[in-house]
Amino acid sequence: MRQNLTERLLFLRAFVTHPTRVGAILPTSRRAVRDMLDLGDVGAANLVVELGAGTGVYTREILARLSPGAKLMALEIDPQLAKLLGEEFSDPRLQVICDSAENLHRHLSGARADMVVSGLPFTSLESDLRRRILDQMVQALAPGGVALVLQYSPFIVKELRLRFGSVKRIISPVNVPPAFLFACSADRTAAAPDASN
């Protein structure tokens, strides 16, 4: 309980310091995280990349689903949150990197991810930064890979459709605020069509 309170306070501090980077006052609910990860197959992935790892709500669930020989690369721009992640998880499959998601290519060293998981607040990011990060996500994916994106509004869907052949969308209403969850793939047949079509 105390650890959960500490995580929430650190998250709130990060929001107050950089509201456009964090985008929410509280971490994403575990239910929304599970709903989002259910849109892909973490257990089949060799490399998962997490953008904006925050206090580790995604990290924890990804590691619970990740196979023993797989890797999780978690990028977090806030130094205190990155430090917390490194202290919280002593899993050898996890690599925590304190850097912006726009620099993802620097850390992949030519590797390609089977899954990219992002809770970054794209709609509150400056437009050029948003485009750079989205382009990094596309370039980072291996053939057949999937990008899972959580947002608090549906406005990002147009930019996702410009980059991905298939964009599936569901809503997780239990989260505060309700979360829009997207599963994006280059292959039009890899994910079901968007329910809003």
Task: Return the structure tokens found at 191.
Answer: 């994910």
2-185 to CATH, choices 3.40.50.40, 3.40.640.10, 1.20.210.10, 3.40.50.150: 3.40.50.150
Q: In sequence order, which residues have a C-beta less than 8 Å from that of residue 140 and are 6 or more positions away?
A: 49, 104, 105, 108, 112, 113, 116
53-89 pLDDT, tens digit per residue, is: 999 999 999 999 999 999 999 999 999 999 999 999 9
pTM higher than the cut 0.75: yes
User: How many Å from the N-terminal Cα to the C-terminal Cα in the chain?
Assistant: 43
pLDDT tens, position by position, 142-169? 999 999 999 999 999 999 999 999 999 9
- Extents of the domains making up the chain: 2-185
